[in-house]
Chain A
Amino acid sequence: MENRELWERLNMDLAKHDEFLAPLPQVFTELFLNRKNRPAAMGYFDAVVGDVHGIRVHELFAMKEAGAKVFSTFCVYVPEEIVVATGSASIGLCAGAQFTVSSGEKLLPRNLCPLIKSTMGFKLDRICPYFQVSDWVIGETTCDGKKKAWEILNEYIPTYVMDLPQKKDAKDAQLWEEEVREFAAFIERETKVDLTAENLAQGIEKINNKRQALQRLASLRKHNPAPIHGLDVLVINQLAFFDDPVRFAAQVNALCDELDVRVKEGVGVAPADAPRILLTGTPQPLPNWKLHALIEQTGAVVVGEETCTGERYYKDMTEPADNVTDMLANIAKRPLKVNCACFTPNQGRIEDISYMAKNLQADAVIDCTLQFCQPYGVESYFVGRAMEGTIPYLRLETDFSAEDQGQLLTRIEALIEMIRA
């Protein structure tokens, strides 16, 4: 089946979709393909982005024809293991395009996080095949904007909401474990597949292997000179939410093998004195590459992301167990180690940032918040206070639009001058 036929069957707005995708090849060529000294193993990921609304959507469509379901998520807290265990697919959704923000604003307030507006716009405009192929959206209560937006989104696509606690005390952990068990029952009902010790162990193993591959990649970035650009790692982190977990992990490991050789030979993508930047804050969902591109345009290298399209997604493993009950308990434990600003207090995040900055030999930290994101915007106070006097630090606020690139670049260049002075 050709892509267009598939998109038609998924009830997409083809004209609008063409308009949306039209600038992508040029942007991707300029930002990625034209860059020198990229690892050869990026070829796989380039091919995935090159046909981002094709290959994988065909796979998902075929899975559905064979009786499986597709569950879409927006958050690192949603337990993929459970979905994968049943033979169904868990994917992340596009949420990082300015193109769909204005449609989102038809239903949502303008003064709302662009990620939520972009998401809503993708569904309203019917230009995201992943949304169209999905049976369910799995939402969570990580912020008030999302929490309320799910109620509206539910009128367009069935939306299941997981209630994530706001603290990490024993009673919160208990509530979350109940939430995970309910979710497991829901997935069993929807997929008509029972969770067994065998299939759930496989689900855990598949997702853990993916996390392990991403950890290995992240750890290679601590070397100087940096063996890979941050922009390339960002796109891999973004695709981690979409791709088949087993194939993806194999490809990430193949890339790491290549980077191991680079590290051994002292080969890097930038000179050893290039400023090394750690990014922290809100996620950069596909296809938003703005900040990494601007930072690396100045000659600096992004060496880590303390974000949900980075460290938070893969830093913790689910412990194995020998029965379904214990496995679900362990699945529930993992997310509560993730330090998202939706929790109070969230001191662990400050420790994560400080540790990463040291471990990755970062020269500066950039704390970037999406406009109107309350949890991260407020928490910037603590991030700034912890960084002050220990490492050069810059706070930025932005959205998905291109118009503030000049202003952002001035700030980033000034930070680089500060480091180099």
Chain B
Amino acid sequence: MKQAGLDLGSVNTKLVVLEDGERIYSQVVPSRFDSVQAGIRLLKVYRAEYGEEPKQLVVTGYGRVNFPEGRVITEISCQGRGCHAYFPDYAYILDLGGQDAKVIKKNAQGKIVRFIMNDKCAAGTGRFLDIILKGLDLSSEELKLAADAKPMPINSMCTVFAESEVITMLAKGIPKPEVVAGLFKSTAQRLANFVESVGHPECLIFTGGGAHYNLLIRFLEQELKGKVVIPPEPELTAAFGAALLA
């Protein structure tokens, strides 16, 4: 039996298909401000390849309510389910998505017992990091140097103010690697506070597009004084969880 999970996110739309519990297909495409169309396209591509649409479909993510088919489940439940499949022993999940950040606490059975999400503001989300990093226009060499650079703290967590703070730093001649290190450290501090408002994990599951930033992971471990584990393809865990729930 085939089960599919479609995660209609603000930045990317992701499809995961399972057959008898095993993953047979996954695909990620940019949402380009219309995750519903992106989802329809993804299913079409899948159908062209496999000849039929998956029998059971769960849709999740920001665009879920407007999607024409599938059972609707929130990204919180899906994320919890997907992470539980990888890490049944760890309770806390931090998900850093495009336009939100959330902390989820699950119990030993994988049932969600608590969650919080950031308030209506881009601060501390994946979009915040993307905007600032884009503005910095880094070379791969500069990004590498950031790993050992002294972090220059960024105080402002409003995306617009942080951007102007970064511009001021660069104008003062502060090297880009220090600014980048500071950006990740400041974000890690904010995210660690966010996690600790729910609990104090010895080991944190970190998912979403944000979990691809190695430097962020390192600072997060420092701030939390604990271990951070990343599932394989951390941007796919919600879609994977959706497929498991389908």
A interface with B by C-beta (< 8 Å): 388, 392-393, 395, 397, 403-404, 406-407, 409-411, 413-414, 417-418, 421
Smallest CB-CB A-B distances: 3 pairs: A414-B76, A414-B74, A417-B77
CB distance from B40 to the nearest CB of A (A): 20
B117 touches A411 (CB 8 A): yes
A407 touches B117 (CB 8 A): yes
A388 touches B114 (CB 8 A): yes
Q: How far does the alpha carbon of A278 sit from the alpha carbon of B76 in the complex, in Å?
A: 21
- Interface size, chain B (Cβ < 8 Å): 17
Q: How far does the alpha carbon of A392 sit from the alpha carbon of B119 in the complex, in Å?
A: 20
A421 touches B114 (CB 8 A): no
A421 touches B117 (CB 8 A): no
> A404-B120, A407-B120 are contacts. A393–B76 as well, Cβ < 8 Å?
no
CB distance from A113 to the nearest CB of B (A): 15
Q: How far does the alpha carbon of A392 sit from the alpha carbon of B73 in the complex, in Å?
A: 18
B111 touches A413 (CB 8 A): no
B interface with A by C-beta (< 8 Å): 62, 65, 73-77, 100, 111-117, 119-120
A417 touches B111 (CB 8 A): no
Q: How far does the alpha carbon of A354 sit from the alpha carbon of B39 in the complex, in Å?
A: 44
Q: Hey, which chain A residues are within 8 Å of B112, CB to CB?
A: 414, 417-418, 421
Residue from B65, B115, B119 in contact with A414 in the complex, judged by beta carbons closer than 8 Å: B115
A421 touches B75 (CB 8 A): no
Q: Hey, which chain A residues are within 8 Å of B115, CB to CB?
A: 411, 414, 418
Q: Hey, which chain A residues are within 8 Å of B116, CB to CB?
A: 395
Q: How far does the alpha carbon of A407 sit from the alpha carbon of B75 in the complex, in Å?
A: 12
A406 touches B74 (CB 8 A): no
B114 touches A413 (CB 8 A): no
B117 touches A410 (CB 8 A): yes
Q: How far does the alpha carbon of A305 sit from the alpha carbon of B76 in the complex, in Å?
A: 26
CB distance from B131 to the nearest CB of A (A): 19
CB distance from A398 to the nearest CB of B (A): 8
Q: How far does the alpha carbon of A409 sit from the alpha carbon of B73 in the complex, in Å?
A: 12
Q: How far does the alpha carbon of A421 sit from the alpha carbon of B116 in the complex, in Å?
A: 18
A410 touches B77 (CB 8 A): no
B114 touches A410 (CB 8 A): no
Closest to A414 in B: B76
Q: Hey, which chain B residues are within 8 Å of A395, CB to CB?
A: 116
Residue from A403, A404, A417 in contact with B76 in the complex, judged by beta carbons closer than 8 Å: A417
A-B residue pairs in contact (CB < 8 Å), sample of 7: A397-B119, A409-B65, A411-B117, A414-B112, A417-B77, A418-B112, A421-B111
Q: Hey, which chain A residues are within 8 Å of B75, CB to CB?
A: 410, 414
CB distance from B83 to the nearest CB of A (A): 14
Q: How far does the alpha carbon of A410 sit from the alpha carbon of B115 in the complex, in Å?
A: 11
CB distance from A191 to the nearest CB of B (A): 46
B62 touches A406 (CB 8 A): yes
CB distance from A27 to the nearest CB of B (A): 19
